[in-house]
């Protein structure tokens, strides 16, 4: 069998390897504390399930959906963006429904990147930006995110010859994997940079609803004129504990949204209608369930940060996301420390290097497990004399 050269360019997906390792350890009888993939352990709120049950058996639900999304769902997205961010979106051409935001992010470069074109991609970052750029024949140009630059890309450092070949600039705040937040001043800089250099700004806002200590994340589209150059990706996955449902949206610049929709309409036939109808309920009903989630994640964050700090780390509490970006002790690499945590303590984390070269020296903890397990993890670290 002769596979494509394209396939050889991409590594196995990060979490496939991690899931395999987890299964291998569990088969040996190890009780794993899983800080791995960021998949909320909390249930999808009951009212969303109720709506799903109501619509599931309708004849309409079983038929092909519109690939861009049901108009009623797009209207609900438009209303939600207006209420949440004071951003106006026309449901006709500024919104496209996605089968989870990963799907839209993975397809976007097919609409914008020709072989040899560059996409400006943060490093570390959600692996899909880089992989989908490569699959489209483009070249990722990596923008290091470090503690020194507050995990914000330094646009001034991008060489002119790179900018000339670039088509896309990706940003993701609140950020996976670093947990960093960005303010509107940074968003404005990105919008101005993209306007000046004729780039499309790709904002991944998957974690906008997970803010703590009173912090409320913003959308890039809140910046005046941002819609001229921005496509924003959003998802119900993390906000409503709906990762398995596969439902999200791309919104913003109509030309960009429609370009993505052309690719999608030729590849998939849209998200299951019943899920879109249940998603309307998620966006339109009271958002108290989101507040309740955040309270739980905030408490877990505090337990983990305080626990690790009692072992010598000096971590600040992230204002958003359910990730903790933790430097490894001296003498360790991301991979060696990940292995040590798993072998000695049965603690599964993700090596920062899996998110890019600048992620070396870190591991990522996802606090998608209950507090008791976090306490147990700290006890196991203490017992194994693992400290910073």
Ligand X SMILES: Cc1ncc(COP(=O)(O)O)c(C=O)c1O
Q: Does 132 bind ligand X (CB under 6 A)?
A: no
> Which positions from 13 through 32 interact with ligand X, judged by CB under 6 A?
none
- Angle of helix 371-383 relative to helix 288-309, nearest 10 degrees, comes to 10
Q: Which stretch binds ligand X (CB under 6 A): 94-102, 259-267, 341-349, 359-367?
A: 94-102
Q: Which stretch binds ligand X (CB under 6 A): 51-59, 95-103, 130-138, 298-306?
A: 95-103
Whether 74 contacts 65, CB under 8 Å: no
Question: Tokens for 230?
Answer: 């921005």
| Nearer Cβ to ligand X (237/319) | 237
Which ranges of the chain does DSSP label H, i.e. alpha helix? 5-9, 14-27, 46-56, 71-85, 101-112, 128-135, 160-165, 184-197, 254-265, 273-284, 288-309, 334-345, 371-383
| Nearer Cβ to ligand X (235/253) | 235
Q: Does 307 bind ligand X (CB under 6 A)?
A: no
Q: Identify any residues that bridge with 147 across adjacent strands, giving them in sequence order.
A: none
One character per residue 248-277, x = contact with ligand X (rule: CB under 6 A):
x-----------------------------
Rounded CA-CA distance 63/55 in Å is: 12
The beta strands (E) that lie in 87-235 are given as 95-98, 118-123, 139-144, 166-171, 200-204, 230-235
3-class SS of residue 35: coil
| Nearer Cβ to ligand X (100/354) | 100
Q: Which stretch binds ligand X (CB under 6 A): 63-71, 98-106, 112-120, 220-228?
A: 98-106
Q: Does 204 bind ligand X (CB under 6 A)?
A: yes
| Nearer Cβ to ligand X (261/366) | 366
One character per residue 36-75, x = contact with ligand X (rule: CB under 6 A):
--x-------------------------------------
Q: Which stretch binds ligand X (CB under 6 A): 41-49, 100-108, 211-219, 274-282?
A: 100-108
Contacts of 18 (CB under 8 A, 6+ apart): 36, 37, 348, 350
Q: Identify any residues that bridge with 364 across adjacent strands, giving them in sequence order.
A: 325, 350
Q: Does 241 bind ligand X (CB under 6 A)?
A: no
One character per residue 102-131, x = contact with ligand X (rule: CB under 6 A):
x-----------------------x-----
| Nearer Cβ to ligand X (38/351) | 38
Q: How far is the CB of 104 from ligand X (least distance, A)?
A: 8
Q: How far is the CB of 177 from ligand X (least distance, A)?
A: 8
What are the backbone angles phi and psi of residue 92, rounded to the nearest 5°? -70, -45
Q: How far is the CB of 207 from ligand X (least distance, A)?
A: 7
Rounded CA-CA distance 304/370 in Å is: 11
| Nearer Cβ to ligand X (163/169) | 169
Q: Could you tell me what percentage of the chain is helix, strand and coil, using 3-state DSSP and rounding each to the nearest 5?
A: 45, 15, 40
* Cα distances (Å, whole numbers) of residue 233 to 34, 56, 71, 99, 199: 27, 26, 18, 12, 16
Q: Does 206 bind ligand X (CB under 6 A)?
A: yes
- Backbone conformation region of residue 318, classed left if phi is above 0, alpha if psi is from -120 to 50, else beta: beta
> Which positions from 171 through 190 interact with ligand X, judged by CB under 6 A?
172, 176
Rounded CA-CA distance 222/183 in Å is: 11
Q: Which stretch binds ligand X (CB under 6 A): 63-71, 99-107, 249-257, 367-375?
A: 99-107
| Count of residues near ligand X by CB under 6 A | 13
Closest CA to 320 of 178, 186, 187: 178
Judged by the rule CB under 6 A, the positions of this chain that interact with ligand X are 38, 100-102, 126, 172, 176, 204, 206, 235, 237, 243, 248
């Amino acid at each position: 069998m002769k596979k494509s050269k394209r396939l050889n360019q991409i590594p196995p997906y990060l979490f496939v390897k991690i899931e395999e390792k987890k299964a291998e350890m569990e088969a040996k009888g190890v009780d794993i504390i899983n800080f791995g993939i960021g998949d909320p352990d909390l249930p999808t709120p009951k009212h969303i399930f109720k709506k799903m049950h109501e619509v599931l058996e309708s004849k309409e639900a079983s038929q092909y959906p519109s690939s861009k999304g049901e108009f009623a769902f797009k209207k609900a997205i438009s209303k939600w963006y207006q209420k949440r961010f004071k951003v106006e979106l026309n449901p006709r051409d500024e919104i496209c429904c996605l089968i989870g935001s990963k799907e839209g992010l993975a397809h976007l470069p097919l609409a914008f990147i020709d072989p040899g074109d560059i996409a400006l991609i943060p490093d570390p970052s959600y692996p899909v930006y880089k992989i989908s750029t490569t699959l489209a024949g483009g070249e990722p140009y990596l923008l290091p995110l470090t503690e020194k630059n507050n995990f914000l890309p330094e646009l001034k450092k991008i060489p002119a010859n790179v900018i000339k070949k670039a088509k896309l600039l990706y940003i993701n705040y609140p950020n996976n994997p670093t947990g960093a937040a960005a303010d509107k001043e940074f968003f404005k800089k990105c919008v101005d940079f993209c306007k000046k250099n004729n780039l499309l700004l790709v904002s991944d806002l998957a974690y906008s609803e997970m803010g703590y200590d009173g912090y409320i994340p913003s959308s890039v589209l809140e910046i005046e004129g941002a819609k001229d150059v921005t496509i924003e990706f959003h998802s119900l996955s993390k906000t409503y504990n709906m990762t398995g449902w596969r439902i999200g949206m791309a919104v913003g610049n109509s030309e960009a949204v429609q370009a993505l929709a052309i690719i999608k309409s030729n590849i998939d036939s849209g998200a299951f209608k019943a899920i879109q109808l249940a998603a309307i309920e998620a966006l339109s009903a009271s958002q108290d369930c989101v507040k309740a989630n955040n309270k739980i994640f905030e408490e877990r964050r505090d337990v983990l940060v305080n626990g690790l700090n009692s072992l010598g780390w000096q971590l600040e509490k992230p204002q958003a996301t359910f990730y903790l970006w933790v430097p490894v002790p001296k003498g360790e690499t991301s991979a060696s420390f990940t292995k040590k945590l798993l072998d000695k303590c049965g603690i599964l984390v993700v090596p920062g290097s899996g998110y890019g070269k600048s992620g070396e020296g870190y591991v990522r903890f996802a606090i998608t497990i209950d507090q008791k397990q976090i306490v147990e993890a700290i006890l196991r670290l203490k017992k194994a004399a693992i400290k910073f």
